[in-house]
Amino acid sequence: MATPIPRVSTVLAQLFPGSFDAVPFDVLQTAVERGNHIHEIAKLICLSMQFKEAYPFVEADFPEDSHIIRAIKGWLEKYDAMPLLVESRAVHETLQYAGTPDVLVKTGPKAIRFANKKVLVDWKATAQVLISNHIQLSAYWRLPDYREADHAIIVNINPLTGEITEYEVFKYGNGFFQLFCKGLQDVLNCEIPEGK
């Protein structure tokens, strides 16, 4: 029987066991639901940009989320961004882990920075961005179709105000991917080839 391919989230759980044990269940559940809801809005907005006819975005379907919609659309406009891949699952060919990054965009010439570049975006709606979020994005960046990104950014949206804080994640020199590989090795209980 073949070993199932671990997801990035499984590896992060291995690296940070019990991270949320001290958080009351109802608080954690509310945070997860909020995060999933904001991700769904971001996905629908991006799909509507990519495929207008097939995925029209109806803002009226989200009457209490105008600040979130404004934040996501504002970020995409600020970067003159066009989605290329939206929540498209990928598997690393050599290391055999899977992930579903939020969105890969191509910025336009009017972008406030990273003009005419491919940017891997990870939407968050958390009180603070954690090291595990950086490790997650670093692992996504190595996946096929996403490794061609020039930059990677965590876009943290305040769920109450819609205010955005950006965190750039660098591909090399920070140890994030090495930490991920350590966790992957623990999950798979095997050796990770050098240089992968």
Burial of residue 127 (CB within 10 Å: 0-12, 13-18, 19+) is exposed
Question: The pTM is what?
Answer: 0.91
Residue 3 lies in a domain: no
Is residue 12 in some structural domain? Answer: no
- Structural domain harbouring 156: 24-188
Tell me if 128 is assigned to some domain: yes
- Report if residue 184 sits inside a domain: yes
In a domain, 2, yes or no: no
- Find, among 144, 153, 169, 63, the residue nearest to 102 by Cα: 153
pLDDT tens-place string over residues 37-94:
999 999 999 999 999 999 999 999 999 999 999 999 999 999 999 999 999 999 999 9
Structure confidence at residue 91 (pLDDT)? 97
pLDDT in tens, 104-163: 999 999 999 999 999 999 999 988 899 999 999 999 999 999 999 999 999 999 989 999
Asked if residue 105 belongs to a domain, the reply is yes
pLDDT single digits (tens) 1-51: 566 899 999 999 989 988 877 888 888 888 889 889 999 999 999 999 999
Helix (H, G, I), strand (E, B) or coil at 6: coil
Counted domains in the chain: 1
Q: Looking at residues 164-191, what average pLDDT do you find?
A: 90
DSSP helix/strand/coil, 49: helix
Looking only at the bridges linking them, the beta strands covering 118-124 and 151-157 are parallel
Task: Tell me the CATH number at 142.
Answer: 3.40.1350.10
